[in-house]
Chain A
Amino acid sequence: MPRSRRPPARSRTISRPSALAKVATGIDGFDEITGGGLPQGRPTLVCGGPGCGKTLFALQFLVHGATHGESGVFVTFEETEEDLLKNAASLGYDVPGLIERKRLALEYIRVERSEIEETGEYDLEGLFIRLDHALRTVRARRIALDTIESLFAGLSNAGVLRAELRRLFAWLKERGITAVITGERGTDTLTRQGLEEYVSDCVIVLDHRVTDQISTRRLRVVKYRGSSHGTNEYPFLIDRRGLAVLPVTSLQLIHRATSERISTGLDWLDEMFGGLGYFRASSVLLSGGAGTAKTTLAAYFLDAACRRGERALCFQFEESPPQYVRNMRSVGLTLDRWIRKGSLRIHAARPTLYGLEFHLATMHREIEEAQPSVAVIDPLSSFTGGSFEEVNSMVMRLIDYLKGKNITAMFTHLIPGSGASQEVEVGVSSLIDSWILLRNSPPGEHGGRHLSILKSRGMPHSSDRRSFELTDRGPVPVGPARRLPAVRKGRG
């Protein structure tokens, strides 16, 4: 009788397990990319190099739980309680208050090898007893172990440690405690002691890279048993409010299409777009050489939104807000009144100060806070901090995000020199709905500048080349419209 014959498969009467329960971490964006947070009642490994944000991840997870009905225990093996409290306070977490109200407990576990002599057999029952005691004190549902690998530095019997860690994770699981276990990145392994071997439910890798003196932080969900998750590397940032992950949507093209149109801010330009302006929630690219009034046109667009009573957000990467407001006053715009009224927000930053991801992350935060209906990014070309692909993917994600939020976005882009098409445009242009090209007119022609629409999806638009001049009342068309030679792109 062949040995391979198996007993008949048991009929599957077991009902399909319900979707994996998840608990929120309160980390902006993270709960979105994981479809709800961390697996409930299971351990999750969070690993990465020094300073990658592991401790913060763990802390935020606990504080969020503590303030939302799930008490937690923070077990620190490296930082003293005092240091941890200090760090937490810098993020505005009232950890002492949470401890007082028994929503949170801190347990500092120190194992100093130089103080310890080992002789004969032992186990880590002392650790279990301490954790059990701490968990009971606050009736915890969550725990963070940061960084349990430190035990390996303090105790020499790795065999015992491994067996005990395995037992510990099983013990936590049995009690239904949602755990975050941090680990330091090893040379060839995710963690120095190979903790990934014991924690098989969910593994998250944090990464902190510095390229061209600009730091970028990324997060990746390496494994999430029983749950679908994005496998991308998600940029994240650490700022005064803690950790925030950018839910980089996977360019799914599921945006609702609206036929609502909004003004460009200039009658004559609206005219060129079939008399109605841009589509709401579309993306507009203004590209042109230096001094072709890109910023001015974008400011008119912002002004029009404020006039309609909407909120507008401007990311300004070349000028400070007062400088910008002053300069726009010279072309007939009084933006300060919108700022005072609270309908216009200007976020200025030096593009080289941070990495692309950080910018993207900050933009997300600003957008979340301001909830604008239109946003201007001026200029896009200042993001040179990464490779072409990096810039491109960042812009794609930004466009996608803005569309998803129903925000009409305008990007300006500087074409250096003569104005030959640049890489960034080529990459991004497929995501852009309306593309306006601005040029300095050849000497002797009217107006000094001209504008043409390279494409504008889904609407009739002018294929003329319009000359205009910049006056103290704004951009004003001059002379007759000229038909543009052959080139005309766009579906529509």
Chain B
Amino acid sequence: MKARRTARKKSPSDEWILRLYVAGQSARSAAALRNLEAICEQHLAGRYRIELIDLLKNPQLARGDQIVAVPTLVRHLPPPMKKIIGDLSNAERVLVGLDLRPRRARGGVRS
């Protein structure tokens, strides 16, 4: 099942495409989706698209994005590709992982 939630499309160039890989309808999957939607609405309102992929239904799709852990969020657009694993409960880290917020001085600082 690929549920597409499109919130008001803008020009495709600045559209964010986010894929959320889950396995079945677990509480953790639901939480991840909820958390993601909240973050997107707050920071990317109107220019994001979430594709929900249930690996139990489409196991062959795990290969392409090299999915091992679930839930995994993959930022397809804009490049480069980013992955965030877990239930996305820590909004701060999700924002950092999506490059929506600069990385704090941690082990590996990115310019």
Q: Using a CB–CB distance below 8 Å, which chain A residues touch chain B?
A: 107, 109-111, 114-127, 129-130, 132-133, 151, 154-155
Contact = CB atoms under 8 A, between A and B. Distances in A.
B81 interface: yes
A129 B28 contact: no
A122 B70 CA distance: 6
Contacts of B71: 122
B83 A117 contact: yes
Contact of B62 (A116, A123, A126): A126
Interface in B54-91: 55-56, 59-60, 62-63, 66-72, 81-90
Nearest to B60: A133
Interface of B: 21, 23, 28, 31-32, 35, 55-56, 59-60, 62-63, 66-72, 81-90, 93-94, 96-97, 108
A126 B70 contact: yes
Contact of A109 (B31, B66, B70): B66
Chain A interface SS verdict (over half): mixed
B88 A132 contact: no
A155 B66 CA distance: 13
A123 B69 contact: yes
B23 A119 contact: no
Contact of B88 (A120, A154, A155): A120
Given A110-B66, A130-B67, A119 B55 contact: no
B105 to A, nearest CB: 16
30 contacts: A109-B68, A114-B108, A115-B83, A116-B85, A117-B82, A117-B94, A119-B89, A119-B90, A119-B93, A119-B94, A120-B31, A120-B35, A120-B87, A120-B88, A120-B89, A121-B28, A122-B70, A122-B72, A122-B85, A124-B70, A126-B23, A126-B55, A126-B62, A126-B68, A129-B55, A129-B56, A130-B62, A130-B67, A133-B60, A154-B68
B82 A115 contact: yes
Contacts of A120: 31-32, 35, 86-90
A118 B88 CA distance: 8
Contacts of A122: 28, 69-72, 85-87
Nearest to B91: A119
A114 B35 CA distance: 23
Contact of A121 (B68, B87, B94, B96): B87
- Interface hub of B35, B63, B69, B94 (most chain A Cβ within 10 A): B69
Contacts of B62: 126, 129-130, 133
